[in-house]
Structure formats: structure tokens, C-alpha cells
Amino acid sequence: MTLSVLVFIGLWLYGVPVWTTAIFTAYIALGIILPGVLIWRAVRGRPGWLVEDVAAGLAVGYSCEVMTYIVARWIGVPLLTVAWPVATVAVFLLVPKLRRYWRGTDRAEEKTPFWFSAILSGSGLVLFYWSVVRFFRTHDLAEPGSLSPDGDSPFHLALLGDAKHHMPLASPWLPEQPVLYHWFVYAEMASTSWITGIEPQVLLLRLSPLPMILGMLALMAVLGKRLTGHWWAGAAAAVITFFVLTPTPYQWPQHSWFSSFGTNVYEDGSSLRAQLWTSPTQTFGAMLFAGLALVLVDVLTERNWKRWALVALLTMAVTGGKATFLPMLLAGVLLVVAVRLLTRRRVHPAALITAGVAFLAVLFAQFVLFGGAAQGLAIDPLHFAQISGAPYTAEFAMPLPGLTGLWRLLVVTAITVACWACIWPGLLGLVKLAKRRRPDLSIPADPVILMFGIGLSGVGALLVFGHEGGAEGWFMVSGRPYLSLAAVVGLAMITPAGVPTRRMLTWVYGAIAVGAAILIVVHELGPNWIPRPTRFNGSAGMSALHLAWPYAAVFGLVGIAALLVRRSSFPAKGTVIASMLAGVCLVTTVLHLHATTRDANRTGWRGINQYPQFIPAGTMEAGRWLRDHSDPDDLVATNAHCVVFVGYPPAQCDNRHFEFTAYSERRFLIEGWGFTNRTHQVAAETGLNAVFAPYWNERLLSDNDAAFTTPSAATIGKLRDQYRVRWLFVYEVADGSGVPASPTLGEFAQFRHRAGKIAVYEIR
């Protein structure tokens, strides 16, 4: 309850009326969670632990909502989506055999302990506070704060607007290009907007990701508890997934790109980064996949064929939600099949069927949803090490001919692997599971192997693939929660059952404090200036030293403390050492939150321009006016095509111009051409970054722009008759974003509205 009150207050402070939040909450609770919980309980055959039922019900409910909305929007009746929760609730009320699923469990072992609820609620509160200081304060809902968001939010808002009015989707800033992307989250938000009446912008930037984030937190806790049978393991899984970050002993600041997005100096796949909000596709897909993983725990351990319906439903949802998870799922279940064949000389039927389902889903995603497009991903081993935050900031490089890339990769990769060992030391405990050394623990091996395989595939993809925008990191982000679950199982294997809980917690808390103190000491000893490559006798050894010595110091001190623990009489030595490493990582989270809070106190808590302004003033008002006075099928033309930051003359045309379609919810003849498959192809052909790839259809661009630069009956008529353009959305400032508009435009098109620097004309 405390968490809910604080969330309501926080959202109100950042522009969301309490009534709007209440409507959204009611819809999520009654239109998504409630019918999802009823279906989940019916398929499992019994009500279970409330937290598990609600978290799984959220994933099931989202899946049903999206599938229903796609059909409803396709036939032109989007509000028909509300029929599925109404029908589900009615069936469970009217059918006598189904009424028992309204009641919760009465088993004492499934009653949630207070301390467990407190940890989950506290973690949820930290995630909300982090969302406030890292996202809300730099993404205002009104001008002028809304004029300088991150570059991806207008892209997401444009696709959300298209999903609200069209099915199938097209790239509304360039409708000739299909959407070869993970788009189910836009269908979910579009459905929510239709049913609740809430503005898509409010859903995208404030409301919709919140239940997805909190649902993911709860599902990690549920999976940890289900795999081990221990409440503490569930809490540990949730904390490790979100808050155990790459230890960062550097005191010097990171390059602005890494600090503004909250990415770590060495890639660890952490979810605690701005992409929780700037990439709703990842957030939505991760939550759906966690629900699928929970179903698969049952499928791999119990024979209940009804649960295959949930496997099919959630797999379909994940396919369009974030298909990145599908090859990882395939790798995980194939590992289960291989281990069963090697150890028992027989096939695991459920794993084999799951592998077939995953394989078909991969094919469908790649060749139907994505049209066989590669989207810039290529085999490029250790590309992540080339763009890691610390060496990128320090411009670290070896000047010796032929060794520049090799030396950089070796140093960065070694530090990265050491950081992984710090985050997941519990993985060593899986050896005991493999050798069956803990008969007192009823830990199912197959689901643990599945989690380990999913996580390992994410690490493997990070090591093998590369992308010009660092997109290979999403495999690591997707796999990290499942390596964390496997590590928690390993911790359970090395934690003896006979140690009193109070004594155990005393040692664990003490070890966490020691680890935190070690990192703080090393952090404070380091310089606060950014190290640069030092040329001395043709080497850059000092830069390598600046990168490596803090980690050497941290792990050296941890090693000394571990030796002291090993000599103690405490029985759970491995748990204590793992807790010490967790302390090293957790203090990084605290330092990160402290630095972000300090920055908020210094620069302000609302309406902060994180980037230079690039959205023209008046865009939101003019876009919404056009939305309210036009038909969803009307086509619009504009004279602005390139993103231009205020005060920065454009060196090249940044083709990621999405904001006009984002706020108008209308398709444009050609606004920009970024983030389309054809743009990636042009980039590959020209050797340019896809952001600066030129537009390929010069005739279309020329016809579009001629209507603005030299308006006449012929040029305007060509847009109307040949291209079916109905409206002109004119940016009245010539700043390099496109072509200047002629003052005679009003003689050939009817002026309808002006807001800020935007004017709207109608072609009769």
C-alpha cells in the first residue's frame, strides 16, 4: 500500500493526474491481471501463492490483450478488445466448476512472509525512484521540457500512434517501409489508450512500463523461490537481477553517452539503465519471457498437458514482443535435451517439444515479422569490448602497429569477465547440483539447466555478434536474469541447511558491508580526472594501468578477506564470500543513485534538458490539432526531414525525424527515413552510419519538397492527385532540417492552424 501511495504521488508530481493514474491502475488490475490470474489458476488446476498468481496473471493477461487487439484493430473495431476480459470474468463467475479459482490458497507454506514482501516493495520503490531521477525529470510531458527527449522516444510514440489506427503497421514517417521490428508493446499501449482514453504520450513516458518493470521484479522473485524452495532465494534473485551491477571503482566520470543512459563501464547486462523506459520493447518482452520461463518450470517437471496452451500463448506474445529471447530459449531447451541424453540416455519429451515450438517461433519472427532482415547485426567477435564505457571514455588504445585492437580487447575482456565473476559467484555452486551432493534439497535439475542455458546463450551472443549501435548488448540484458537465477540456485547448493537463520544473516550482512567498504576505499583512492593514453616509448601502458589497477586492488582485498573467512569456523564460507562480492557490486548501485540524486539537486528535478532541443516548439499542439481534425487514413507531407539540435549546425542529415508523426498519429509521405530496413541496406552499401544514410528515392523527395519551396497548382496538385496527400505540416524555420517553406504557400493550400514554429495547411 505504501508503494502504491508513493507511486501515485510521484506520478502526480510529474504531470499525471491522480484520476488518470487511478483509471490506468483499475484497467491493469481488472482488465489485465484479474482475467490473467483466473486463466493461470485454471490451467494449473489450483490457486497458488498470491504473488506468483498475480505476476503470472499479468504476463498471461498482456498476451491475451495483445492478441485480441491485433484482431480487433484489423477488423476496425479496436474497442472490441475489452470483450476478452469481460467474457473471461463472466465465464469464471457463471460456470460452477470454475468459481473455486476466485479463492486464494489456504496452504501455510504459500503464505508470503512479511520480510519478503518488504524486500520486494522496497526494491519496487527503488526502481520507481530511479525512474524518476533517471527518466521522468528529463522527459517532461509538456513544452519546453518535452522538446529534448532521448532520440528513441519519438520513434516509439510514432509507432504507438500507428498501432492505434492501423493494422498491420507501417513506418508512419515513411509508410512505404514496413515495420520489421518488435511491435507488440505498441499494440498493448494502443489498446490501453483506446479503452482508458489516456494519451499515448502519457502511457509511453509514465504509466505503461511501470507494471511491466514491477511485474518482472516479481517474476524473478517467484522463479527464485520456485527453483530452490527458499524465500530468501526469491528475494536474492530479484535483487541480483536489478541491483547487483558491475563494480565501478573509477572516480572519474564517464563519457556523456554512457552516463546519460546509465550503462555500465563494462557490460554486465544490467536492467538498471535508462533503456527500461527508452526501450519499452525490451521491458515488455522481458516480462513476457519471464512468465514463459515460469510456465516452463512446470512443463519440465510435471505432466499437465493443459499448460502447453500457456506455452503457445506466451511464445506467440514473446515472438512479437521481443524476438531476441527466442534463439536464447531454443539454446536453453536444447541444452536440457543434451544433458538428459548424456546423463540418462533418454530424451526429455517436454524439452524436445519446447525446442520445436521455439524453433518455429524463430522462423516466424525472422521471415514473417522481420522479413528476413538482419537489422545491422553481424558476426563481430568482442565488439562489445571495443565500445565499453571506461576505455571509450579514456580513449584507451595501444599505438603499436597491429596490436592496437588486440591489446584493447584483451584488457577490456579480462576486466569484464572478472566483473561477471563478481556478480555470479554462485554459479560455482551448480557443480554440487550436477554431482547431486545435496539430497536434502529438492531442486529440479532440468529447469535450472534451462535457466543456465538461456543466460549462457546471452553471454555467447554478446561475445560473438556486433552491431554499429551496440545492439548485441541486448542479448546480454535478456540473458542476465537467468544467469542470476542459476547463480541463486548455486548459492542454495552451497548454503548448509543447519545454520540458524539469524546467525547466517549476521555473517551475510557483515560480508556485504566488508565488500562495500573495499570498493569505497579503492574508489576514493583513485583520481577524479579522466586518464588519457600516455605515449612513452611507443606504448600506452599508463592508460592500461589506470583501467586495470582499481580492479586488481578490489579483487586483491577481497581475496585477502576471503582467506580470513576460509580460516574461520563458520560453516557457510562460500555464501559469505559470495555476499562479500555482492557488497562490492551493490555499493556501485548506491554510488550510482547518489550521483544521480546529486545531479538532480544541482540541475533540478523537473523539465531538465538532457540533450539540446531538437523538437520544434509547437509540435505537440499542432500535431494533436491535426489528429483531432483529420481522418486516420489522411496522408500528410512536411518540409522537415533531418534532426537538428538547437545551436548546433547540421554537419550531416540525421534521418531520425519522427516527432511529427509521433504527436499527430498520422502517416507522412516522407518525414524521415531512419530505423527502416532499407536505410540499413543503404548504410551497408555506402559505408555510412545508418543514422546518416541518405534517402534513396530522390524523385519522391523532390516532389515532396517542391510543394513547399515552389508552391503552385502543379506542385501542390501533384501531392494531392499522385500521392494522395491531404495535409501539409510546415516547419517555418530554415535551420537545415529540411527545405524552407515559401511565404506563398497559403495561396495554394488553406491555412488551418499555427502553434509555435509549426503551421498546418489543408489541401482542398
Q: What is the DSSP string of 533-566?
A: ---SSS--HHHHHHHHHHHHHHHHHHHHHHHHHH
Residue 451 has pLDDT above 90, yes or no: yes
Residue 87 belongs to some domain of the structure? yes
Stated as kind and residue range, the H or E segment containing 727 is strand 725-731
Q: What SS3 string covers 16-47?
A: CCHHHHHHHHHHHHHHHHHHHHHHHHHHHCCC
Separation of alpha carbons 504 and 663, rounded Å: 55
Q: Which of 277-286, 465-474, 521-530 has the highest mean pLDDT?
A: 277-286
Q: What is the mean pLDDT of residues 449-458?
A: 96
Residue 575 belongs to some domain of the structure? no
End position of a domain, from candidates 475, 508, 541:
508
The pLDDT value given to residue 402? 40
The pLDDT value given to residue 401? 41
> With bands split at pLDDT 50, 70 and 90, how would you rate the model's confidence at 536?
very low
Lowest mean pLDDT among 547-551, 669-673, 700-704, 740-744: 547-551
End position of a domain, from candidates 508, 528, 556:
508
The pLDDT value given to residue 337? 94
The pLDDT value given to residue 393? 78
The pLDDT value given to residue 672? 95
The strand pair at 378-379 and 465-466 is best described as antiparallel
Give the bridge partners for 643, in sequence order: 654
Q: Which carries the bigger pLDDT value, residue 164 or residue 507?
A: 164
Q: What is the DSSP string of 277-299?
A: HH-HHHHHHHHHHHHHHHHHHHH
Collapsed DSSP state (helix, strand, coil) of residue 585: helix
Residue 404 has pLDDT above 60, yes or no: no
Measured CA distances, 696 to 216, 354, 693 (Å):
42, 43, 9
The pLDDT value given to residue 122? 95
C-beta contacts of 69-78 below 8 A and 24+ residues apart: 69/187, 69/188, 69/190, 69/191, 70/167, 70/187, 73/163, 73/166, 73/167, 73/187, 73/190, 74/167, 74/168, 78/164, 78/190, 78/191, 78/194
Q: Are 189 and 160 in contact (CB under 8 A)?
A: yes
Residue 743 has pLDDT above 90, yes or no: yes
Domain check: are 256 and 373 in the same one?
A: yes
Q: Whose grid coordinates read 539454446?
A: 331
Give the bridge partners for 668, in sequence order: 636
Separation of alpha carbons 278 and 343, rounded Å: 44
Residue 543 belongs to some domain of the structure? no
The pLDDT value given to residue 533? 61
The pLDDT value given to residue 542? 58
Burial status of residue 532 (CB atoms within 10 A of its CB: 0-12, 13-18, 19 or more)? middle
Q: Are 340 and 347 in contact (CB under 8 A)?
A: yes
Q: Whose grid coordinates read 519446447?
A: 354
Residue 399 has pLDDT above 60, yes or no: no
Residue 172 belongs to some domain of the structure? no
Query: What predicted TM-score, i.e. pTM, was given to this entire model?
Result: 0.94
Lowest mean pLDDT among 8-22, 263-277, 332-346: 263-277
Domain check: are 635 and 501 in the same one?
A: no
Q: Are 41 and 162 in contact (CB under 8 A)?
A: no
Collapsed DSSP state (helix, strand, coil) of residue 377: coil
Separation of alpha carbons 658 and 554, rounded Å: 45
Separation of alpha carbons 565 and 563, rounded Å: 5
Q: What is the mean pLDDT of residues 384-407?
A: 64
Q: Are 548 and 411 in contact (CB under 8 A)?
A: yes
Q: What is the mean pLDDT of residues 592-602?
A: 88
The pLDDT value given to residue 396? 58
Residue 603 belongs to some domain of the structure? no
Q: Which carries the bigger pLDDT value, residue 31 or residue 574?
A: 31
Separation of alpha carbons 118 and 124, rounded Å: 10
Q: Which carries the bigger pLDDT value, residue 110 or residue 396?
A: 110
The pLDDT value given to residue 538? 44
Collapsed DSSP state (helix, strand, coil) of residue 760: strand
> With bands split at pLDDT 50, 70 and 90, how would you rate the model's confidence at 163?
very high
The pLDDT value given to residue 372? 63
pLDDT in tens, 315-364: 999 999 999 999 999 999 999 999 989 888 788 899 999 999 999 999 98
> With bands split at pLDDT 50, 70 and 90, how would you rate the model's confidence at 637?
very high
Collapsed DSSP state (helix, strand, coil) of residue 640: strand
Total count of domains within the chain = 2
Residue 409 belongs to some domain of the structure? yes
pLDDT in tens, 108-155: 666 888 899 999 999 999 999 999 999 999 999 998 889 999 889 999
Q: What is the mean pLDDT of the chain?
A: 89
Q: Indicate if the alpha-carbon torsion angle 206, 211, 214, 215 is positive or negative.
A: negative
Q: What is the mean pLDDT of residues 629-643?
A: 96
Percentage of the chain surpassing pLDDT 90? 62
C-alpha cell at 727: 495535409
The pLDDT value given to residue 395? 67
Q: What are phi and psi of 104, to 5 degrees?
A: -80, 180
End position of a domain, from candidates 508, 540, 561:
508
The strand pair at 725-731 and 635-638 is best described as parallel
Separation of alpha carbons 60 and 39, rounded Å: 8
Domain check: are 500 and 622 in the same one?
A: no
Q: Which residues contact 368 (CB under 8 A, 6 or more apart)?
A: none
The pLDDT value given to residue 398? 43
Q: Are 180 and 369 in contact (CB under 8 A)?
A: yes
pLDDT in tens, 476-497: 999 999 999 999 999 888 877 7
Measuring CA to CA, which residue among 462, 425, 463, 422 is closest to residue 550?
422
Residue 157 belongs to some domain of the structure? no
pLDDT in tens, 194-229: 999 999 999 999 999 999 999 999 999 999 999 998
User: Residue 438 is part of which domain span?
Assistant: 2-102+112-142+207-508
* Angle, alpha carbons 183-189-192 (nearest 5°): 145
Q: Are 235 and 216 in contact (CB under 8 A)?
A: no
The pLDDT value given to residue 243? 92
Single-letter residue type at 88: T
Residue 625 has pLDDT above 50, yes or no: yes
Measured CA distances, 609 to 280, 314, 656, 658 (Å):
21, 39, 19, 19
Measuring CA to CA, which residue among 97, 101, 23 is closest to residue 60?
101
Residue 583 belongs to some domain of the structure? no
The pLDDT value given to residue 439? 57
